[in-house]
């Protein structure tokens, strides 16, 4: 990630995720270029990627804006993610290797440690949660599924989900991971798929409950 366009991509993405760039804000290439300390060329490349990931949207005349997410959009995202990730789990159950299973158990254990502590270690939870799901994607052996999911997971909602988890949510998530492992050990596609659907569904409701009567992405009360 040493290329300028990659750095620009991460900077802009972080600005959106952190709320520095509020929903609906207009994005000028020139301004971003100056802010990121690069020229417009890598900025344009970064914007393309962000558009593909639905973090920004473009007007009919190619002006860029930070995407604003309605609750319906959020539910759509979770629906799509559940669809793709459950299919990945199904494929993974058929193909997962012994070493992949071993790795997934390692991450499972790490997550267990993270939430067994007095104060749950969210950092460690998120990190190994990503790795856990990453192994499933790898085992699914579908480059296309992997690519499509990668574009969804970068989304703000997915990113913020873990923060909204209660302690019970974290434990339930961990238990579902355990059940996924059992399904993988049995090489049972239907089981793995069902658990994954449930897993993602739960994540959605955790999110929805946390934002029950709020307008969704207004993290940024302080507009510049």
Partner DNA sequence: TGACAGCCTAATGTATACAATGCCGATCGG
Partner DNA sequence: CCGATCGGCATTGTATACATTAGGCTGTCA
Q: Please report, in angstroms and rounded to a whole number, the separation of the first and last CA atoms in the chain.
A: 30
Closest distance to a copy of itself from the beta carbon of 2 (Å): 8
The tokens for 15 are: 């600005």
Q: 59 or 214, CB closer to DNA?
A: 59
The tokens for 156 are: 């703000």
Q: 41 or 97, CB closer to DNA?
A: 41
Nearest CA among 110, 175, 163, 107 for reference residue 135: 107
Answer with the entry of a copy of itself, DNA, none that 42 interacts with (C-beta below 5 to 8 A by kind). Answer: DNA
> Interacting stretch for DNA, rule CB under 7 A, among 22-30, 77-85, 114-122, 152-160?
22-30
Residues binding a copy of itself (CB under 8 A): 1-2, 41, 44-45, 48, 52, 54, 62, 73, 76-77, 79-80, 83-84, 87, 142-145, 147-148, 152
Q: Are 140 and 220 in contact (CB under 8 A)?
A: no
The tokens for 208 are: 């929805």
Closest distance to DNA from the beta carbon of 192 (Å): 37
Closest distance to a copy of itself from the beta carbon of 75 (Å): 10
The tokens for 212 are: 């029950």
Closest distance to a copy of itself from the beta carbon of 72 (Å): 9
Distance (Å, whole) CA 147 – CA 51: 15
Q: Scan for tokens 């499933």, then name that residue.
A: 136
Q: 29 or 127, CB closer to DNA?
A: 29
Pick one of 12, 15, 21, 27: the residue that binds DNA (CB under 7 A): 27
Q: Indicate if the alpha-carbon torsion angle 13, 15, 21, 23 is positive or negative.
A: positive
The tokens for 190 are: 């239907």
Q: Tell me: does residue 82 bind DNA (CB under 7 A).
A: no
Q: Scan for tokens 């600005």, then name that residue.
A: 15
Return residues touching DNA (CB under 7 A): 1-6, 27-30, 38-42, 44-45, 59-64
């Amino acid at each position: 990630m040493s290329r300028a366009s990659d750095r620009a991509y991460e900077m802009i993405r972080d600005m959106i995720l952190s709320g520095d760039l509020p929903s609906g804000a207009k994005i000028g290439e020139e301004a971003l270029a100056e802010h990121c300390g690069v020229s417009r060329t890598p900025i344009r490349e970064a914007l393309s990627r962000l558009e593909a990931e639905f973090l920004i949207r473009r007007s009919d005349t190619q002006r860029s804006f930070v995407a604003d997410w309605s609750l319906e959009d959020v539910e759509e995202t979770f629906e799509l993610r559940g669809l793709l990730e459950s299919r990945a789990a199904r494929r993974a159950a058929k193909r997962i290797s012994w070493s992949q299973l071993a790795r997934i158990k390692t991450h499972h254990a790490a997550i267990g440690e993270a939430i067994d502590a007095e104060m749950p270690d969210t950092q460690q939870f998120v990190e190994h949660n990503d790795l856990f799901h990453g192994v499933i994607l790898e085992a699914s052996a579908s480059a296309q599924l992997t690519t499509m999911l990668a574009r969804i997971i970068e989304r703000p909602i997915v990113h913020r989900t873990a923060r909204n988890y209660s302690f019970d949510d974290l434990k339930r998530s961990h238990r579902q991971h355990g059940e996924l492992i059992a399904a993988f050990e049995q090489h049972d596609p239907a089981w793995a798929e069902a658990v994954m659907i449930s897993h993602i569904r739960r994540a959605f409701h955790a999110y929805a409950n946390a934002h029950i009567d709020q307008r969704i992405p207004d993290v940024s009360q302080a507009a510049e």
